[in-house]
Amino acid sequence: MENQPLCININNNVNFELKSSFIRLLPTFNGLAGEDPHTHLKEFHMVCVGMKPNGVNKEQVTLKAFSFSLKGVAKA
């Protein structure tokens, strides 16, 4: 088995802003017992795929937006 890095490399050469209208569309995950993290990730992915800015790849959008989808215990 080949050793894989345990980190995510982010291309910082691409500078873009997430618009507040996009951030408001993101589903939220609070980390509560009744919440399904898999459902959150599916919904999060759908929003990110639909709102990708030109010149930015989906991984960059996803990485930048993910922290905005977390609230409460999940954010901590």
CB 61 within 8 A of CB 20: no
Question: How far does CA 13 lie from the centroid of its chain?
Answer: 19
Express each pLDDT in 2-48 by its tens digit.
666 666 666 556 678 888 999 999 999 999 999 999 999 999 999 98
pLDDT value of residue 6:
61
pLDDT value of residue 61:
87
How would you label 17-52 residue by residue, b for 16+ Cβ within 10 Å and e otherwise? eeeeebeebbeebeeeeeeeeeebeebbeebbeebe
66 DSSP assignment = G
Residue appearing with tokens 């030109």: 54
pLDDT value of residue 11:
58
